[in-house]
């Protein structure tokens, strides 16, 4: 296969981050998970109408609600030349005279240019960073995902690289047979 064929097959790297829109659901589930264990013991020890089954049913409801309240943010790697332009634009000199990336200024551009789904404009990201609905942890989680999709080198897991060789080894081979 020549380089042009490889380039045609190369797909844009992506990274997906899930964000929960209603954290109260997780807080309720965490609290109820602890309480159901206590209720199960009390249901056994005390002569009372069991409370644990209703609590377990609520836990199942919460799982459904949590799944409905999560949203995927998909980020894709930008072209190398655009990455370099942004890094150059937002590199500043620190107090020691060393170059460093101005993450606060760089972040909105990185997110808006790397966002695939949902697409985000620079204004959208600015609203996210300055609004009351997004915590610093959530915005940092999104920033890290956008940064990593552009900068992280992904290794091919060893097992993936050798699976074909192992599966196709000879009958008397010393290579272990694949596990099922």
Domain residue spans in the chain?
A: 11-153
End-to-end CA distance of the chain, in Å? 32
Task: Please state, rounded to an integer, the average pLDDT across all residues of the chain.
Answer: 86
Residue 43 pLDDT? 87
Residue 10 pLDDT? 84
Contact 48, 28 (CB under 8 A): no
Contact 13, 149 (CB under 8 A): yes
Per-residue pLDDT tens for 19-78?
Answer: 988 889 999 999 999 999 899 899 889 988 999 999 999 999 999 999 999 999 999 999
Residue 161 pLDDT? 54
Average pLDDT over residues 172-176: 60
Percent of the chain with pLDDT over 90: 53
Residue 102 pLDDT? 87
Percent of the chain with pLDDT over 70: 85
pLDDT over 70 at 110, yes or no: yes
Residue 12 pLDDT? 85
pLDDT over 60 at 163, yes or no: no
pLDDT over 80 at 180, yes or no: no
pLDDT over 80 at 164, yes or no: no
pLDDT over 70 at 162, yes or no: no
CA distance 139 to 141: 5
pLDDT-derived band of residue 165, with 50, 70 and 90 as boundaries? low
Q: Secondary structure of the chain in the HEC alphabet?
A: CCHHHHHHHCCCCEEEEEEECCHHHHHHHHHHHHHHHHHHHHHHHCCCCCCHHHHHHHHHHHHHHHHHCEEEEEEECCCHHHHHHHHHHCEEECCCCCEEECHHHHHHHHHHHHEEECCCCHHHHHHHHHCCCCCHHHHHHHHHHHHHHHHCCCCCCHHHHHHHHHHCCCCCCCCCCCCC
């Amino acid at each position: 296969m020549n380089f042009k064929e490889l380039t045609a097959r190369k797909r844009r790297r992506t990274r997906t981050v899930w964000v929960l829109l209603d954290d109260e659901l997780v807080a309720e589930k965490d609290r109820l998970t602890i309480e159901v264990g206590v209720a199960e013991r009390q249901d056994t020890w005390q002569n009372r109408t069991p409370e644990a089954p209703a609590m377990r049913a609520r836990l199942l409801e919460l799982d459904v609600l949590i799944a409905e309240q999560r949203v995927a943010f998909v980020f894709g790697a930008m072209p190398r030349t655009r990455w370099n332009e942004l890094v150059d634009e937002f590199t500043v000199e620190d107090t020691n005279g060393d170059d460093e990336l101005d993450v606060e200024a760089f972040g909105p551009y990185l997110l808006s240019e790397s966002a695939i789904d949902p697409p985000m404009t620079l204004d959208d990201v600015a609203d996210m960073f300055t609004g009351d609905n997004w915590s610093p942890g959530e915005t940092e989680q999104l920033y890290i995902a956008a940064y990593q999709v552009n900068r992280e080198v992904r290794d091919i897991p060893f097992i993936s690289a050798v699976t074909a060789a192992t599966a196709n080894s000879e009958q008397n081979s010393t290579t272990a047979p694949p596990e099922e």
